[in-house]
Every structure is written in C-alpha cells, then in structure tokens.
Chain A
Amino acid sequence: MIPTSRPGRRRAAPAAAALCLLAASPAPQAQPRDSGAAWQFGAVIDLASTSRELELGGRSAGLQLGHSDLTASGPVGRHLAAQLTSVVATHDGTVETGIEEAWVQTRTLPGGVVARAGRFASQVGHLNSQHPHADDFVERPLLHRALLGGHWFDDGVRVNLTLPTAQYWMVGAELFRGRKLVPEADPPRGGAGAATLVARTGGDLGRAHSWQLGLSYLHNRRTAAVEDAEEHGAAHEGEGHDHDHGHGARFGGRRTWMLDATWKWAPGGNNREQQLRLTLEAARVSGVAPHAGSGQRHDAVALSAVWRFDPHWEAGARIDQLRVSMPHEDHFETGRLRERAVMLAWKPSHMQSLRLQLSRQGGALGFESPARRSVALQYVVSLGVHGAHAF
C-alpha cells in the first residue's frame, strides 16, 4: 500500500518534485480573478489502534499511523492540472514514506477527453481510485487487499472519454508499468506491464436515488517471480509478518475482471441529513500462474451498506469473500477466507471522523492466521484543503 524505499520506487521522486516545482511557480498569478483556482495544500492524518492484525490486512496490531498524506494540487497554466501526494504510514513500528501521486492531467482537450500521465491510482473497480482515508471501513475489502495490493497506484498514462449523452457514460484506458502490482517479475519485463479498460455509467432516479455501474478489465503481463509467490503465499505465516505487506498484489494473475455497482438513497436528495449507500464489488482473476489451467482462478466479492442516520453519524456493515488458487509444488490448492465487519463512525465535521469497527474472519482455508475477532478504533483528520471526493 505504501511505497518503501526500494530502488524502483525511488526513481519517481525526483521527477515528481520537479513536476511540483514546475507546477507551483506560474499558477497563482496566472489565474484570472474568478478562476476559483489556486494551488491548494492539505494533509490527512489517519491513526488507528487495532487489537489484532487481520489476515491480508494492512494495519498491524497496536497504534499505527495509517495512510496519511500531504497533498498539493492545482492548475498548471490554462490547459493542465497537477497533483502531488506523498504518503506516510507505519508498519510494525517502521515509518514508510513514498510518493503516491504525481500526475498532470489535461483540462482543455475537446470531445470529453481527459488524459493523465505520471503516478496515480488505477480507476479499476469502485474503491481503488479513492484515497483510503475516505473509506467507510478501517480496511479495504479482501478483494482489494488480496488482488490489488490494497491500493494500486502505478506509473503510467490514462485516457478517459466522457460521452455527450444525457446519461453518464465514461470509457477509459490506462497503461501502467505494473511494478506496483507485481514488484518482481519473472521473466523481468520493462515497459508497460499492465493495462486496464474501464466503462462506467450512472444516473439519478428522481431526487432521492442515484446509481453507478462499472466494468473493469485489467491485463497484467508481469508474472510474479517464484520466490515472490512463495514469500507471498500462506506458507510464511507464523514466523512474523512479511514486511512487504500490501506492496504488490498477493494473489495476481493475467486477466482480472471487476464489476462494481453503487446505489445511494437520500430522502428528498438531502444527503447531508440521511443517506443509505450500497456498494457491491466483484472480481475474477484468471491465468493465475503460467502453468495454471482454466480452473485455477481467484474470486472475490464484497458488499457493503452504510447508513448515515444523522448528519454526524454513520453505521455500516460489510461482507467479504475471497477464494484463491495457491500454487503448491506442482499443483494448486484452494484458499478461502471470509470477513465480516460492522462499524460506527462519528463525523463531527467533514474534516474529522472517529470510527469503531469490529471485524471477524472465518471460513479460512489455506490462510493460517485469520483474526477471529479484531477491534479497531480509527481517527482521521484532514487539515487544509483536501480534494473533492468521487461518487
């Protein structure tokens, strides 16, 4: 989830810093008075105390700094916008830092086209492109933790097209190096290692209902090196944590299909007072290893419901299911894991939230340390200006 200081990860930092400098200098004066746009700076701190680390979880037991970030964003001249986000988190008492976003994006291409280049989170699925500190639960669903390394961002380019239709339709393609998905590839591969295609549609039904549907395809050309696969398999459990938790997808494959559906209901459309949000995400990965047959695949599904019953209070529940094919010597073994979570969040303002969550893992097969019960208390506070959130 958080980039460490691996050599491959460091390379982007100077480029990102240069980008930031380039971006910051001409912007403020160049804008006309009502442009409403200047460079904005913000920080988010995410602290959580967890009673027990979850299997495939990104937060160790005890008090840890979660996905906390410093963000700068704004226009670069009339035609471009840029964002730079650096992330800090602790894992097992070690502080990890890295650049998570460093991109420029077009603002003035015709025909509903928006292009982006740099480092950014892929738009596959519903949650991946959103910052984890805006999530409704302390941990992302198993689907994301197992198949996308928690929060998959990478170096690459994106082109999106929003169609000029009354109903919202967006199609987009991304090309990534893929090193954040599969850090060590065998055979080693340069260039574009992963590509995605996403289609999204959505709309309103009356004033009270809104919905969105998305279909994503991720093509991954990088095969995880064998030692990587073993290291990331279930066999290592029991001798302490794999330090690389969350870096790269623990269960990958060549082809990933994802389906996401969101439905929101707010009485009278006044979502500040009350709102019900339902989100379903499902993923299927095939081509899980070079010698795998068509029967070998990973499946994951997550369904969450969050109810804002007061402007400052939300309650939610999530069910999560994962089935994976794990290579074991010359054959595959099935791994299974189920997770259930309930949470209660108090949001005294939109810049702070305090969340209590109870998670239970069960039905485990091939996973050696599922947490039968884990309680987490999380506090998220943002300072300064933080970007607007997606649907």
Chain B
Amino acid sequence: MPTRSERGRGLRAAALALLALLAALGRPAAAQTIFACEPEWAALTHILLPAARLHVATHAGQDPHHIEARPALIAQLRGADAAICTGASLEAGWLPTLQQRAGNPRVQDGAPGLFLAASATTLIDPRPGAGGNPFAGDVHAEGNPHLHADPRRLLEVARAWSARLQLLFPAQAVAVAQRHDAFAAEWPSRIARWEQQAAGLRGARVVAQHASFGYLWAWLGVQQVADLEPRPGLSPTPGHLQRLLEQLRERPPAAVVVSAFQDPRAGHWLARQLGGQVPVLQLPATVEDPEAPDALGRWFDRLVNALVRRG
C-alpha cells in the first residue's frame, strides 16, 4: 500500500496532468456541437445551423433500435452542446447509457439541450399499455417512432427544433429563424410535387419489413398489407413467410419493401414465390450523408422515384 505522501504526490501529478489536458483542449467557442441520434435529424440540423459540428450516432446501414452504447458515442455526447433524437423509445436500448456515462448536464432528460422529435408531432399506431411483453416483440407504446418518413411531420419537427435552437443559442437565433422560414416556405411545394408524382400509388398494396416506412405509406395513401416480420423487431421466419405467401397468392402486392440495413433474402424469397413479378425494393430508411446538400429532399426524391418506378 502506498504511503500517504506517495498517494498525495500521485494525486497532485494526476490533477496537474488533467488540468494541462483540459487547457490544451479548450475548444474554440465558435461552432456549436450537436449530437444527432439519427442521420435525418443531423440533416435537419444542417439546414437550420449549417456551421454546427455534427456527431451522428447512427447511419443508414444500421438498425437504429440496436445500437450499442459504444465508447465513441459516449465521447461524442460528452462534448455536445445539444442533442436531437427521435424519442418514443426508439433509442431506449442505448441513449440512457450514453447519457449516464457522458455526464453532460446539457443533454440529460428534461434539459432544454435534449430535443426529442416525437414531442413535436403526433405518432401513428400508439399502443397504450403495450411494451415490456417479451413475447410481443418490440412494440412501442408511444406509437411508431419512424416519423421522419412523413415530410409533413418533418415540417413540424423543423419548427420545434428551430425554436429550441434559437433558445439554446441566442447568438444564432436570427439566422436559425431565417433558415427555418426559408425551409418552411419551400418544403410544402416539394411535398406537393412528391404527392403529385406519387398520385398513382394511392391505394397500392405493399409488403414491408418492419414499420420503418409506416409514415411514408400513411402520407402517400399506400397500404401495407403484410409485414415480413412475424412480430415487430423479429426477423422473418419460414413459417410466417409461408403464411404470407398463402395470404398474398390471390392478390400479389405491388412491391416488397425492405430497408437498406435489413437482410433482403426473406423479401426476395417471397417475391420469387409470388411468381417473380413482384419487385423487391431495398430502400434507405434514412438519409445516407446528412451533410450533403438537400439530403432530406434527395432522400424523399429517391423513395418516391423508387416506388413510382418500382425499381
């Protein structure tokens, strides 16, 4: 056991080293650092506050339900001035651990620096009292959390997030408000254009894997007649696919849609069994590069085009 004086020396040395490190790290106070749980919120932030340094916790190739509380993410949340996440329990498996470990008071639950997109709009398919049943799959009592696939709800989130950013960063408030106004003025015309483009899809029947595009269907009037997942969040099983095949043989769907991060084999199998006429669309469930110009608009372009052209 070290003696008392040895320990004292060790502590002093550690404290000095720490101070030196902190001094060396003194960040330039200019840019805000924003932690975005999902790429779509990073893209939205990039529209409102283009100078912000963005940390994006997930990407289009990942299932946002199954992220690990990795050291890299803890460090990113530690340095964030604010965070934007979906909420509605989408990040329940990892965000609480990040918050606990990061020790960043700005982004704790209830702090103004933590903004949840789900709080700015209403969710479809709420299941009050659900959740917690180990045999029911990943059911979110609050409703379907994948709300970013509805461009109208995106407008609501943009309004609330812009207000929050103005509150958090008063020096940027005017610029944020101007960028939001520009976005809010232009976005509805793009919505109208997509709706016009997709008018022929109204009433179309699709099969999808998970409720990732639930809001897209609701917006475009597309009907999801079956889910490749036997229960929310569970991978397709042979038995379930067989049942779907029976159910769909009479009236095959217009398309089978899977997300970019999902294994497309189940969808391909079903399409083949349905006679090979049904296209399988593997679509990104979010933007691929949130800092690319017009990332959100181009993502919707891509979704609508793929659905209209079925390929």
Contacts and interface: CB of A to CB of B under 8 A. Distances in A.
Nearest to B233: A349
Given A36-B116, A165-B75, A350 B93 contact: yes
Contact of B134 (A114, A352, A389): A352
A219 B1 contact: yes
Interface string A377-391: 000011111011111
Contacts of A352: 134-135
Contacts of B75: 162, 165-169, 203
A96 interface: no
B275 interface: no
Given A108-B108, A109-B103, A312 B119 contact: no
Contacts of A168: 71-72, 74-75, 78
A78 interface: yes
Contacts of A160: 101, 103
B109 A31 contact: yes
B25 interface: yes
B37 to A, nearest CB: 11
Contacts of B114: 34, 36
Contact of B1 (A36, A75, A254, A349): A254
A160 B74 CA distance: 13
Given A349-B134, A391-B68, A108 B105 contact: yes
Dominant secondary structure of chain B at its interface with chain A:
loop
A207 B70 contact: no
A29 interface: no
Contact of B138 (A35, A211, A349): A349
A160 B101 CA distance: 9
A32 interface: yes
Given A162-B74, A166-B75, A37 B110 contact: yes
Of the listed residues B70, B95, B97, the one surrounded by the most CB atoms of chain A closer than 10 A to its CB is: B70
A170 B93 contact: no
Given A202-B72, A389-B93, A162 B78 contact: yes
Nearest to B231: A349
B31 to A, nearest CB: 14
Contacts, number: 173
Contacts of A207: 59, 61
B176 interface: no
B61 A388 contact: no
A52 interface: no
B23 to A, nearest CB: 11
A168 B72 CA distance: 6
A93 interface: no
Given A112-B104, A212-B71, A272 B110 contact: no
B92 A388 contact: yes
Contacts of B87: 34, 36
B100 A81 contact: yes
A270 B61 contact: yes
Contact of A162 (B62, B103, B116, B132): B103
A6 interface: no
B101 to A, nearest CB: 6
B38 to A, nearest CB: 14
B55 to A, nearest CB: 10
Please tell me the size bucket of the interface on A. Answer: 35 or more
A107 B78 contact: no
B57 to A, nearest CB: 11
A385 B21 CA distance: 39
A46 to B, nearest CB: 13
B134 A163 contact: no
A358 interface: no
A64 interface: no
B194 interface: no
A35 B96 contact: no
Interface string B50-85: 000000000101110111111110110011000000
B134 A112 contact: no
B72 to A, nearest CB: 4
Contacts of A391: 68-71
A349 B131 CA distance: 13
A233 to B, nearest CB: 25
B215 interface: no
B137 interface: yes
Contacts of B118: 34
Interface in B11-67: 18, 21-22, 25, 27, 59, 61-63, 65-67
Interface in A341-384: 348-352, 381-384
Interface string A206-249: 01001110000001000000000000000000000000000000
A331 interface: no
A276 B251 CA distance: 42
Given A162-B101, A388-B95, A381 B119 contact: no
Contacts of B25: 164-165
Contacts of A250: none
Given A114-B103, A201-B71, A349-B234, A35 B110 contact: yes
Contacts of A254: 1
Nearest to A43: B132
Contacts of B103: 109, 111-114, 160-162
A201 B118 CA distance: 33
Contacts of B94: 388
Contacts of A312: 234-235
Interface in A29-71: 31-37, 42
A167 B62 CA distance: 22
A272 B66 contact: yes
Nearest to B67: A271
Of the listed residues B65, B71, B72, the one surrounded by the most CB atoms of chain A closer than 10 A to its CB is: B71
16 contacts: A31-B110, A33-B119, A35-B110, A37-B109, A109-B103, A114-B101, A161-B103, A162-B101, A163-B21, A163-B22, A165-B21, A168-B75, A203-B72, A207-B61, A273-B261, A389-B93
Given A114-B103, A204-B71, 6 more contacts: A31-B109, A37-B110, A78-B108, A107-B105, A201-B71, A272-B63
Interface of A: 31-37, 42, 75, 78, 81, 105, 107-114, 160-170, 200-204, 207, 210-212, 219, 254-255, 264, 268-273, 310-312, 348-352, 381-385, 387-391
